[in-house]
Amino acid sequence: MKKSALISSLVAAAIATAAVASAAEIKTVSLIEDPVDPSALAVCAQLSSAPKWWHGKVAYQIYPRSFKDSNGDGIGDLRGITSKLDHLKALGIDIIWLSPIYASPMVDNGYDISDYRAINPEFGTMKDFDEMLSEMKKRGMHLIMDLVVNHCSSEHAAFKKALADPEGPEAKYFYFRKGKNGLPPDNLRSYFGGSVWEKVPGHENYYYLHYFAKQQPDLNWYNPDLRERVYDMVNFWLDKGVDGFRIDAIMNVAKDTAFPGLPPDAVGDGMAEAKVMTAMHAAEVPGILKEFRDRCIKPHDALTVGEAFGLNDEILPEIYGSDGIFSSVFDFTVREIFENAKGYYDYPMGSVKMYRDANFKGQLDAQKTGFASPITENHDEPRAVSLYLPPKLQNAQGARALAVAFMFMRGLPFIYEGQEIGMTNTDFKSKDEFRDLVAAEEYTKALDHGLSPQEALKTVALQSRDNARTPMLWDDTMNAGFTTGTPWIRMHQDFKTLNVKAQEQDPTSVLNCYRDLIKLRKDPRFAEIMIYGLFIPMQSSDDEVLAYKRKLSAGEITVISNLSLHDTQFDLKGKILYQTGKAEFKDGKLLLGSGSAVVLKP
């Protein structure tokens, strides 16, 4: 063989090997549609025959402390929110859920309320509130408030009176009990650690009950006077024009008021989790809340979204079926995997498969019941991009592919502040940078478990609720345009590049992806399918491919998100309605790159 011929054959071989290599990188993935459960068909038909104003809408959660500061004190406030409503309007948001803004000592950032009819001065005044509400209405948006009535604050006037006289009338709004042989009435462990019972100062044989922090005494829903006060307060806000409520920790209102306690669990402190007791009494909650629904919610045609953990299949219809106690509940299927652990140090690693399988299960349960609310983030969780995606996709590309997977699920989707720009976890550098009371508790737990200070910091940084609570990133100026003062919690490390302003100018940004997806979700050609269509999982031969159909007699759409690190191909046909990343039909096959996603129609 001549030298030149040899070289050219070597070159040809090299090219051939390269071609084989790149072809080998494309993984063929099969997708098989699940069969349809007939009971889901009945629920879909029932819902579409009784449309509600929140069907077909998209919701957004604001964490007021961290959204936008208008007066330079470093704390987000109501006027700040009002100044940013156009951002939400442009995103396509119809319903805003506002985390608590009521008067509060802020032990748990407002989930400890001392006056339910007053605005916390750090957020502004009632005038600011009325102005914000009217600006929302002007834009055709609805407001739902946070209703925190499993507990209030230990600074609430009624609780202060109760503390002073544990036998008096105010004490009956709460749970005051005598101890047993120098021990608390039972052995339940609070959600935030330690006993659910706290000694009453000056009346040492008495304790009061708190399922959360000791500054959050539980309210006694079995007392009719308490219920009347709650209804009055709820109607006060509804009469003002508020459109409904997200209802905090509500399953905890049902209790065995004999406080028998539970057999100790594996933690080894002789206690058992309060939430186990709550789950045991879940079936009683609809009975307790029926009057509230009939006297406050129904007459106002208001929307309620229950924060309901620990539900079993049998009670789902009573919780949010057609005559259920709530309009909707958040789908916490994936969250519950984490919280079934001893503490942050024991939490499993998040993964695409975990996210996918849990959401499929949640969606399937929901469509046999009613209209649930899918979420991927909220103020109690780390950022989804950091939690579920492989490290190489913890960026804008991964955020977009996750957005596609999320935005077409069935129900009322809630987007959490910052999710729409693909915020990731914040790079907390020391334990002093955390602000959440839970972070301190979990740090200690991790140390007690034998972790080194560095390891403890790492687990808390990965799981902390503070990841969701660092300020919204508006632009690349000082403190990302959140405040001209000193922010109450540290800023996210990437705000110079990761911010609303930069993303507005980039048509392929995460923000524009969310805008496009919401537009598509509301497109009149598909709206019917998006609202009432069945959710049909597609079983994938790859654990990091998330695919499903939404189907109705009127038509269907297919959603495929490749959250794996390899390129994929699928043996299927269709037309691309939306794509992010690399997606094309070639030789009758769909090619979908790593971190890419599509929405197809037949």
Q: Which residues are near Ca ion by CB under 5 A? A: 69, 71, 73, 75, 77
Assess contact for 549 and 557: CB atoms under 8 A: yes
Q: How far apart are CA 234 and CA 58, in angstroms?
A: 24
Q: Which residue's CB atom is positioned nearest to Ca ion?
A: 77
Is 148 a residue that touches ligand TEU (CB under 6 A)?
A: yes
Fill in the amino acid letter for 50: A
For residue 275, report the phi and psi dihedrals to the nearest 5 degrees.
-65, -20
Structure tokens at 56: 């077909």
What is the per-residue DSSP string for 13-76? HHHHHHHHHHHHHSEE--EEEPPPPHHHHHHHHHHHHS--TTTT--EEEE-GGGT--SSSSSS-
Three-state DSSP at 246 gives: strand
Site map (CB under 6 A) of ligand TEU, residues 458-487, x = contact: -------x----------------------
How many CB atoms sit inside 10 A of residue 164's CB?
A: 14
> Considering 128, 248, 381, 441, which one is annotated as catalytic?
248
User: Applying CB under 6 A, which of residues 34, 380, 433, 494 lies at the interface with ligand TEU?
Assistant: 380
Q: How far apart are CA 380 and CA 465, in angstroms?
A: 5
Which residues within the stretch 175-214 sit at the binding site for ligand TEU (CB under 6 A)? 191, 212
Is 387 a residue that touches ligand TEU (CB under 6 A)?
A: no
Name the one residue in this structure whose structure tokens are 């084989």: 20
Specify the residue, 71 or 351, whose C-beta has the smaller distance to Ca ion.
Answer: 71
Specify the residue, 345 or 548, whose C-beta has the smaller distance to ligand TEU.
Answer: 345
Which residues within the stretch 291-310 sit at the binding site for ligand TEU (CB under 6 A)? 307, 309
Tell whether the torsion through CA atoms of 226, 227, 232 and 238 is positive or negative: positive
How many CB atoms sit inside 10 A of residue 182's CB?
A: 7
Is 336 a residue that touches ligand TEU (CB under 6 A)?
A: no
How many CB atoms sit inside 10 A of residue 527's CB?
A: 15
Q: Cβ 80 to ligand TEU, closest distance in Å?
A: 20
Partner touching 570 among ligand TEU, Ca ion, none, CB below 5 to 8 Å by kind: none
Specify the residue, 273 or 544, whose C-beta has the smaller distance to ligand TEU.
Answer: 273
- Length of the chain in terms of residues written: 602
Q: How far apart are CA 77 and CA 129, in angstroms?
A: 10
Number of residues that bind ligand TEU (CB under 6 A): 14
Q: Cβ 514 to ligand TEU, closest distance in Å?
A: 23
> Considering 94, 112, 198, 307, which one is annotated as catalytic?
307
Partner touching 191 among Ca ion, ligand TEU, none, CB below 5 to 8 Å by kind: ligand TEU
Structure tokens at 105: 């000592």
Partner touching 212 among ligand TEU, Ca ion, none, CB below 5 to 8 Å by kind: ligand TEU
Which residues within the stretch 485-544 sit at the binding site for ligand TEU (CB under 6 A)? none
Partner touching 455 among ligand TEU, Ca ion, none, CB below 5 to 8 Å by kind: none
What is the per-residue DSSP string for 208-219? EE-SS-TTSPBP
248 labelled catalytic? yes
Sheet holding 203-209, edge to edge: 176-178, 203-209, 197-200
Q: How far apart are CA 371 and CA 44, in angstroms?
A: 9
Q: How far apart are CA 548 and CA 546, in angstroms?
A: 7
User: Applying CB under 6 A, which of residues 77, 94, 186, 248 lies at the interface with ligand TEU?
Assistant: 248
Task: With CA atoms as reference, report the closest residue to 424 among 353, 493, 481.
Answer: 493
Q: Which residue's CB atom is positioned nearest to ligand TEU?
A: 111
Q: Cβ 448 to ligand TEU, closest distance in Å?
A: 18
Q: Which residues on adjacent β-strands are paired with residue 567?
A: none
466 labelled catalytic? no
Q: Cβ 426 to ligand TEU, closest distance in Å?
A: 17
User: Applying CB under 6 A, which of residues 147, 438, 559, 600 lies at the interface with ligand TEU?
Assistant: 438
Partner touching 316 among Ca ion, ligand TEU, none, CB below 5 to 8 Å by kind: none
Specify the residue, 71 or 493, whose C-beta has the smaller distance to Ca ion.
Answer: 71
Partner touching 377 among ligand TEU, Ca ion, none, CB below 5 to 8 Å by kind: none
Show which residues are catalytic: 248, 307
List residues binding ligand TEU (CB under 6 A).
108, 111, 148, 191, 212, 248-249, 307, 309, 339, 379-380, 438, 465
